[in-house]
Amino acid sequence: MSTIHAKRAEEYLHDEAVALRHDATFFGVRQKRDRMAQALPEWEQLRDAASQIKKHTVTHLADYLEQFAANAEGHGVHVHWAQDADEYNAIVYDILSSHNVKKVVKSKSMLTEECHLNEHLEAKGIDVVETDLGERILQLMKLAPSHIVMPALHVHREEIGDCFREKGLMENLKSQDNPTQVPSDPNDPTFLTFVARLHLREQFAQADAGMTGANFGVAETGDVVVCTNEGNADMSTSIPRLHIVSMGIEKLIPDLRSLAVFQRLLARCGTGQETTVYTSHFRGPRPGGEMHIVLVDNGRSSILADPEHWQTLKCMRCGACMNTCPVYRRSAGYSYTYFIPGPIGINLGMLRDAKRYADNVSACSLCMSCDNVCPVQVDLSTQIYRWRQRLDGLGRANAMKKLMSRGMTILFNHPALYTTTLRFSPAANWLPSALMNSALNPWARGHLMMKFPKKSFHQLWKELEKESRNQ
Amino acid sequence: MKIGLFIPCYVDALYPEVGVSTFKLLRSLGLTVEYPESQTCCGQPMGNAGFERLAEPLAEKFDTIFAGYDYVVAPSVSCAAYVRNFHPDILGRKGHQCQAAGKTMDLVEFLHDVVRVESLPSRFPHRVSVHNSCHGVRELGLSSPSERNVPRFSKIIDLLRLVDGIEVVEPERPDECCGFGGMFSVEETAVSARMGLDKVKRHMATGAEYVTGPDSACLMHLQGVASKHQLPIKFIHLAQILASGL
């Protein structure tokens, strides 16, 4: 009867050390974010402004999209429009194949995950290389991201070292002019990063095309703004002559002045840094090169038309809601069935395909911490509450919860029945402990059963009233 | 000022002493307090579980039962928050304007903001760790949420400071969820229990003898977890501390 999320979370929690480490790691990121938030007196005003700007932009999206496309085209950029994932994948493949691209290097993009671009291109014989370190590790290990900003933070360095050795990445060490010795700890993080660096340099040099995502698209200028910590987006676009940008249509903002608001929030919320190490503006192709922007809808305009959920379009994918979510921290990314986990992932999954991704809706205690960290004030918990109201209609309600809710309703709608039940409830104390604390009682899995008092407040009230009158 | 006492269903059935303390406390402050006996539940358990429509008749009944009172006071933050934040929408859909929402308060905010108590005759010579229930922090504003850059405050601690002999502490991660979440605790049993255990341990790390808070639901969950793991810490509702000696 439990959801897939609940079952996977239970399995995940069996290894207490791993689970505690995961929780501590991501709570640490949340605390770094808190220190950043506390250091800016205007923090809450920035959140207000960011939310207002996003609301304004997504409700005037058609105008800003036209302005953005016109400005980009004015700088010699080819702008493409994709209605869905299939169209997007086909457009990207057409661009790559018409340029005879054999290898493409990519910086991080959740949109390409959303559309399964890598699989599509690989099936057609194109070598796709992720260049964000975390993404590359996962690609080599054939794993999916478990977080949208720190996708491989759950993988331990021993596993990474083993993977690099198995995949032959250590061979690069020998070909250097000054060969590097393997340190006494073969999984030393600095050493492994160096190995990855050599490996990625080789990929950049060999690639025929570079792909990036977009953190922001500035309508006023046609700029695509990409934020990274590793400079891999810049490497991906500085060596190959062909640059393809994949951008969801909700990434648009009106002007550079608004960018300043988001620029101050994004890294502070996402990783607890003042800013990302690289914030690169791409305005047009470099000399002798070619630049394409693919603007992707893939369901976004339907979200905009949904009066209860349109505000999810404000999200700028900083990941702060995951880091603060007590359920995400204790269940980790793979417990969720949608590729984006945590509070925003629950909502985006439901918007993608409510029936298919309904298993994630249980992963919320409605603590509302996510609402309060979100830099653009998406009402994440309210939206999860709303999705729960729709589960029964989708045929995805939890039968036990339904039964309990119905039972309670009968009881609570009939005060006489309710008070009678209360009077007899202490009898439950006499049930054998083995029965009350058995596996059949889900409450008893984590708790010892409570004891009912001899008298309910309803019964005690008669005495209190009498006592008051006598005073 | 006429106050309608709202004793939520689970407090009624499991923690009647919390209701008694609340009543005695309010009466000791010279207030007229009545307990409408036809009350049952505000509908929150069904709403949070995804069956808000089952809460409709309960919200309607709630509005009628408490129509004649200036304030509705409950010793339970999540129930007070449900009436205040959800009843208007639930009743609004039926074309009925909710009256109770604007006057329903949790005991802490009522004492702190309306009565503005400045002294209490209570004494509780123990070290007590404060449990900040999520809906108290983030829906009713009983304390400043740790996520926000706002001036730090805690109405709970303000009230506890009026108690003689008490030592008040807060755990690490002072407003992280304890994992109860209503039916969350029966649907996501493993995560809920883990969150509860982590929370109990953080409360214990303060060296406190008692955990106190404004919501017996969180305390019930933590107590259940603590006794399952045989962890020696006691749980007491805030109202019982404030009313100690009455």
- Residue A329's SS3 state is helix
pLDDT on residue A415: 87
Q: In this model, does residue A7 exceed pLDDT 90?
A: yes
- Neighbouring residues of A174: CB distance < 8 A, sequence distance ≥ 6: none
| pLDDT at residue B67 greater than cutoff 90 | yes
Residue A265, pLDDT above cutoff 70 = yes
| pLDDT tops 90 at residue A443 | no
Q: Between vectors from CA B229 to CA B223 and to CA B234, what angle results, nearest 5°?
A: 35
Residue of chain A with shortest Cα separation from B196: A446
B57 inside 8 A of chain A by CB: yes
Identify which of A362, A371, A385 has the shortest CB distance to residue B187. A362
* Residue of chain A nearest B220, judged by CA positions: A450
Inter-chain residue contact A450 with B198, CB threshold 8 Å: no
Tokens of B211: 């955990």
Most B CBs within 10 A among A457, A460, A461, hence the mutation to make, goes to A457
| A380 near B CB under 8 A | no
Q: Is A365 on the interface with B (CB under 8 A)?
A: yes
Which chain B residues are Cβ-neighbours of A23 within 8 angstroms?
198
A34 lies within 8 A of chain B by CB: yes
Express each pLDDT in A354-408 by its tens digit.
Answer: 999 999 999 999 999 999 999 999 999 999 999 999 999 999 888 888 888 888 8
* Cβ neighbours of B223 in A, within 8 Å: 450
Which residues in B lie closer than 8 A to residue A362 (C-beta atoms)?
184, 187-188
Average pLDDT over residues B20-34: 96
Q: 3-class DSSP state for residue A230? A: coil
Residue A123 sits at the vertex; the CA angle it makes with A115 and A125, to the nearest 5 degrees, is 125
Please give the pLDDT value at position A435.
64
pLDDT of A316 over the 80 cut: yes
**pLDDT of the residue at A178:** 61
Give B52's contacts in chain A (Cβ within 8 Å): 389
Q: ipTM of the predicted structure? A: 0.97
Nearest to A360 by CA among A379, A388, A380, A382: A388
**% of residues, chain A, pLDDT over 70:** 97
Nearest to A412 among B17, B58, B173 (CB): B58
Q: Are A319 and A147 in contact (CB under 8 A)?
A: yes
Of B221, B42, B21, B234, which is closest to residue B127 (Cα–Cα)? B234
- Looking at beta carbons, which residues of chain A come within 8 Å of B9? 408, 412, 418
Nearest CB to A405 within list B46, B185, B224: B46
Provide the percentage of residues in chain A whose pLDDT is more than 90.
83
Average pLDDT over residues B21-42: 95
Distance of CA B230 to the CA centre of its chain: 25
CB-CB under 8 Å, B189 with A442: yes
> Please, are residues B38 and B12 in contact by the beta-carbon 8 Å criterion?
no
Task: Say if residue A179's pLDDT is above 70.
Answer: no
User: Which region holds residue A125: left if phi is over 0, alpha if psi is between -120 and 50, else beta?
Assistant: left
**For residue range B96-136, what is the model confidence (pLDDT) as tens digits?**
999 999 999 999 999 999 999 999 999 999 999 999 999 99
Distance CA B93, CA B59 (A): 12
Nearest CB partner across the interface for B51, out of A19, A402, A422: A402
Q: What is the mean pLDDT of residues A40-56?
A: 98
Q: Give dist(CA B200, CA B216) in Å, integer.
A: 15
Say if A371 is an interface residue toward chain B (CB within 8 Å): yes
Q: What confidence score (pLDDT) does residue A413 get?
A: 87
Question: What is the average pLDDT value for chain B, to the nearest integer?
Answer: 96
Q: What are phi and psi of A188, to 5 degrees?
A: -60, 130
Ordered by start, the domain boundaries in chain B are 2-115, 127-242
Mean residue pLDDT of chain A comes to 94
Measured between CA atoms, how close is B160 to chain A, in angstroms? 24
How far apart CA B9 and CA A457 sit, in angstroms, is: 9
A461–B35 CB contact, under 8 Å: yes
Rounded-to-10 torsion of CA A204, A276, A149, A223:
-70
Summarised one tens digit per residue, pLDDT across range A227-263 is 999 999 999 999 999 999 999 999 999 999 999 999 9
**What architecture is domain A41-155+208-300?**
3-Layer(aba) Sandwich (3.40)
pLDDT over 70 for what percent of chain B? 100
Q: Among candidates A123, A128, A124, A76, which has minimal Cα distance to A97?
A: A124
CB of B19 within 8 Å of any CB in chain A?
yes
Which of B76, B187, B199, B219 to mutate: most A Cβ within 10 Å?
B187
Residue extents of the structural domains in chain A = 1-39+319-405, 41-155+208-300, 414-470
| Chain A residues in contact with B20 (beta carbon < 8 A) | 457, 460, 464
Q: What is the mean pLDDT of residues B130-156?
A: 98
Per DSSP, the three-state class of A76 is: coil
The mean per-residue pLDDT over the stretch B151-169 comes to 98
- Is residue A440 predicted with pLDDT exceeding 80? no
**B107/chain A closest Cα distance in angstroms:** 17
For residue B166, how many other CB atoms are within 10 A of its CB?
19
Say whether residue A119 is in contact with chain B using an 8 A CB cutoff.
no
For A9, list phi and psi in degrees, rounded to 5: -65, -40
Whether residue B24 contacts residue B243, with contact meaning beta carbons closer than 8 Å, is answered with yes
pLDDT of B29 reads 95
What mean pLDDT is predicted for residues A42-71? 98
pLDDT tens-digit profile of B197-231? Answer: 999 999 999 999 999 999 999 999 999 999 999 99
Instruction: Give Cβ neighbours of residue A65 (< 8 Å, ≥ 6 apart).
Output: A219, A249, A252, A295
Q: Are B20 and A456 in contact (CB under 8 A)?
A: no
CATH of domain B127-242: 3.40.50
Q: What is the pLDDT of residues A74-130, one digit of tens each?
A: 999 999 999 999 999 999 999 999 999 999 999 999 999 999 999 999 999 999 999
Helix axes A415-424, A457-470, angle to 10 degrees: 100
Tell me, yes or no, if A18 comes closer than 8 A to chain B by beta carbon.
no
Tokens of A297: 């809808």
Percent of chain B with pLDDT over 90: 98
Q: Is B94 on the interface with A (CB under 8 A)?
A: no
